[in-house]
Amino acid sequence: MPVKNRFAELHDEIATWRRDLHENPELLFDTHRTSALVAEKLQSFGCDEVVTGLGRTGVVGVIRGRETGSGKVVGLRADMDALPIEEATGLDYASKVPGKMHACGHDGHTAMLLGAAQYLAETRNFNGTCIVIFQPAEEGGGGGREMCEDGLMERFGVQEVYGMHNWPGVPEGQFAIRPGPFFAATDKFDIVVEGKGGHAAKPHETIDPGVVAAHLITALQTIVSRNADPTGQAVVSVTSMQSSSHTFNVIPSRVTMMGTVRTLDEAMRDMTEARMAALCEHVGAAFGAKITLDYERNYPVMVNHDDQTAFAAEVARTVSGKCDDAPLVMGGEDFAFMLEERPGAYILVGNGDSAPVHHPEYNFNDDVIPAGCSWWAGIVEQRMPA
């Protein structure tokens, strides 16, 4: 694999950092140990500036090239947080924290960007400024949004921004990308169905919220099957349902549900939310119940910019010899917030034949490290040639 020789030399060291992070996972914004380790490494590499506490626990390093006359500023972003999952890998460096594990490979992303930062700080073979961004709370906390709201792009003058995620099933060290909408908007909803409880033997004296909820769940599926353009993409999933009764002979007075909506464009997102509101209102009215919908827009659609995507693919081909077309992904990614602020691109690097992400047996493939580091370094050196 035509990776940079320096990353082959640093491979074992970077893997050691990665495994230390894997043993010590932290959730959401509580990445205090991870953030401190990242800041310490960046300072030891000789970064021109290291800033902590951006977006609560985010860390930013500034690396200036041998020349800066181009005025170009390129950002590279990695996520740092883990997931609330009990690890089942049996690794000798498995999580030491009960109920927490790096089940999505953010330990690998952080380690690879640290490796790239070390190389870039050593060589500075570029004309411009590189901003390395280590973000907390990708897994549902919106850390990317928080860092942007804290002035990330303006404070450091970022003009373009690039991110990367490992991807099980893609051959080890190979890359895949697509322009335009890539990862879905990830909205959340909570629904409360209020009826009239009573004895299970006297249903005629009640308004059974369980029956109402069942009809509503069926009706919600018609949004995708009958309201959405079949050439588009949408998902409506009810993922939890609980009643206020916990015994066999009582019809509850209330049922609560929650779930998620995934879409890949704003028009589909707007339509889905509007249809959900209408169905809740009218299904409730049909049965004499009251249905309340709380719809929360979470991560937006992550959209890769055309020019930056073409460039990112070109760099990937210099590393691995090819770059495949990536599929649409209905999962969410809060790098979307950064791509709303600045043009850029997000790429997948193959994790090989591993367990899927968010699985208790998943593990980041350390053999991917040289390819990932080389891609990040290549983004800087080729976008801002010395």
SS3 annotation, the chain = CCCCHHHHHHHHHHHHHHHHHHHCCCECCCCHHHHHHHHHHHHHHCCCEEEEEECCCEEEEEEECCECCCCCEEEEEEECCEECCCCCCCCCCCCCCCCCECCCCHHHHHHHHHHHHHHHHHHCCEECEEEEEEECCCCCCCHHHHHHHCCHHHHHCCCEEEEEEEEECCCCCCEEECCEEEECEEEEEEEEEECECEECCCHHHCECHHHHHHHHHHHHHHHHHHHCCCCCCEEEEEEEEEECCCCCCEECCEEEEEEEEEECCHHHHHHHHHHHHHHHHHHHHHHCCEEEEEEEEEECCEEECHHHHHHHHHHHHHHHCCEEECCCECCCCCHHHHHHHCCEEEEEEEEECCCCCCCCCCCCCHHHHHHHHHHHHHHHHHHCEC
Q: How many domains does one find in the chain?
A: 2
For residues 284 and 319, membership in a common domain is answered with no
The residue out of 299, 322, 344 marking a domain boundary is: 299
For residues 34 and 159, membership in a common domain is answered with yes
CATH number of the domain bearing residue 206: 3.30.70.360
For residues 65 and 22, membership in a common domain is answered with yes
The residue out of 277, 299, 321 marking a domain boundary is: 299
pLDDT at 1: 41
pLDDT at 3: 63
For residues 293 and 224, membership in a common domain is answered with yes
For residues 176 and 31, membership in a common domain is answered with yes
For residues 144 and 265, membership in a common domain is answered with no
For residues 197 and 248, membership in a common domain is answered with yes
pLDDT at 97: 98
CATH number of the domain bearing residue 119: 3.40.630.10
For residues 15 and 110, membership in a common domain is answered with yes
For residues 52 and 94, membership in a common domain is answered with yes
The residue out of 246, 271, 299 marking a domain boundary is: 299
pLDDT at 2: 58
Cα–Cα distances (Å) from 358 to 83, 87, 153, 331, in that order, read 8, 10, 30, 11
For residues 34 and 110, membership in a common domain is answered with yes
For residues 51 and 136, membership in a common domain is answered with yes
pLDDT at 85: 98
Q: 107 is in which domain, residue-wise?
A: 5-183+302-383
> pTM score, two decimals?
0.95
- Print pLDDT tens along the chain (386 aa): 456 788 999 999 999 999 999 999 999 999 999 999 999 999 999 999 999 999 999 999 999 999 999 999 999 999 999 999 999 999 999 999 999 999 999 999 999 999 999 999 999 999 999 999 999 999 999 999 999 999 999 999 999 999 999 999 999 999 999 999 999 999 999 999 999 999 999 999 999 999 999 999 999 999 999 999 999 999 999 999 999 999 999 999 999 999 999 999 999 999 999 999 999 999 999 999 999 999 999 999 999 999 999 999 999 999 999 999 999 999 999 999 999 999 999 999 999 999 999 999 999 999 999 999 999 999 999 999 99
For residues 190 and 158, membership in a common domain is answered with no
